[in-house]
Structure formats: structure tokens, C-alpha cells
Amino acid sequence: MASLVSKADVARLNNHAFRAVLNALLQAEADLSGVPLANLDLNLNDTVPDEGIDARIVWPDGVAHDVFRPGTNVLQYKSGKLTVGEIAKEFKKKGVQEALKAGGYYIFLVALRKTSA
């Protein structure tokens, strides 16, 4: 089966475009899986403090999924090259830690952008 989106397609996305694509995919996945849109919370502005959370989806029990688990799934979007320290800093943010302590799940999505040599 041919891929609809290539690595090169993702590499061309800046932070704003990456957020828009992922939010659209989350909405489509929720709709396809019968998840009420009320269970989906998307942050549309990439310049506001978000405590490490760009999207939240409450996945229902009994709906199998390869990525999402029943309960609260919080997502963080980043683009560009990241160091291990930068990733660790995102993981330690207040919103992420609160979600994990409450039994939720954290999904970190990165679009690695190509840089010219």
C-alpha cells in the first residue's frame, strides 16, 4: 500500500502547518472512530503557553486504537531538531505531569525539518 504522506512532506512543515495537519487528522480520527467531538480539545494557537499540551483527546473504553488508550491522551507537537534536553523539558511541563499523575497518556509528535548544510 502506498503512503499518502511521505517523510519529505512532513519535513517541509513548519510548527504552524504541523499543528494544523495534526489537528485535522485528530478530528478525522475521532469522527471515524465515533469519538464525540466534545472529547477533543485542540489548541489552535502555537504562541500561547500550553503547559506542554497542544491537544487532548478522551478516548472511550471499548474503542480499540493503535495509538490512543482509553482515557485522557495528551499530545505535544514540535517541529525542527530537538536535543534530548529540550525533549526532557517538554516532558516535565506542568500539564504533562498532571495528566500522567491522573492516569493519562502522553504522546510527543515531532516533525524533523531538514536544514541546509
Sequence spans of domains, the chain: 7-111
Asked if residue 3 has pLDDT above 90, the reply is no
Instruction: Write the secondary structure of 12-67 as one string of H (helix), E (strand) and C (coil).
Output: CCCHHHHHHHHHHHHHHHHHHCCCCHHHEEECCCCCCCCCCCCEEEEECCCCCCCC
> For residue 10, what pLDDT is reported?
75
pLDDT classification of 64: cutoffs 50, 70, 90: very high
When pLDDT is cut at 50, 70 and 90, the band that residue 117 belongs to is very low
Q: Which residue has the higher pLDDT, 104 or 15?
A: 104
Closest CA to 111 of 4, 24, 7, 2: 7
Higher pLDDT, 99 or 3: 99
Given a cut of 80, whether residue 74 has pLDDT beyond it is: yes
